[in-house]
């Protein structure tokens, strides 16, 4: 009986320890109907989602909102590497290490894509000063 009680006490600790190694997904806030895959995926080694709560450039929009809403991209935190996967499945390795630079790199990369050009143009129009 004592062994069973000890085992039950350690199960939550073991389970909790394992969950921190998994990717955490911040889902895309908009989906596109232009490809079979309706959103892009940003995989990042960053594990703290609060780092994406900083404001993007001179806007009142957070980094994660810009990525997830304006550029149809989910964010997978705690990944093995920084990589953007486009809607057509093309993978782009990213060199930035922090959330601000990573967002700038993602926006720049998407703005050069076929659908991304339109998204970037609309984003710039909405955020003119």
Which residue has better confidence, 3 or 46? 46
pLDDT above 60 (res 128): yes
Q: Which domain holds residue 60?
A: 23-126
Residue 55 within any structural domain of the chain: yes
Q: Which of 88, 113, 74 is nearest to 36 (CA)?
A: 88
Residue 74: pLDDT band with limits 50, 70, 90: very high
Look at residue 5 and tell me if it is in a domain: no
Q: Which of 13-17, 49-53, 98-102 has the lowest mean pLDDT?
A: 13-17
The rounded distance, in Å, linking the Cα atoms of 38 and 11 is 38
Kindly state whether residue 7 falls inside one of the protein's structural domains: no
Looking at the 3D structure of the chain, how many domains does it have?
Answer: 1
Report the pLDDT value the prediction gives residue 21, as an integer from 0 to 100.
63
In a domain, 67, yes or no: yes
**14 domain-assigned:** no
Q: What is the rounded average pLDDT of the residues 26-33?
A: 89
Query: Tokens in use for 106?
Result: 């993602």
Side-chain-side CA neighbours of residue 128 (13 Å): 4
Residue 87 confidence (pLDDT):
93
């Amino acid at each position: 009986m004592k062994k069973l009680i000890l085992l039950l006490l350690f199960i939550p600790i073991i389970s909790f320890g394992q969950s921190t190694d998994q990717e955490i997904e911040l889902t895309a806030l908009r989906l596109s109907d232009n490809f079979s895959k309706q959103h892009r995926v940003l995989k990042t080694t960053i594990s703290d989602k609060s780092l994406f709560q900083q404001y993007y450039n001179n806007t009142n929009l957070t980094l994660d909102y810009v990525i997830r809403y304006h550029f149809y991209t989910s964010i997978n935190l705690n990944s093995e590497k920084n990589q953007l996967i486009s809607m057509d499945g093309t993978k782009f390795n990213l060199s930035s290490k922090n959330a601000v630079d990573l967002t700038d790199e993602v926006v720049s990369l998407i703005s050069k894509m076929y659908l991304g050009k339109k998204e970037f143009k609309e984003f710039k129009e909405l955020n003119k000063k």
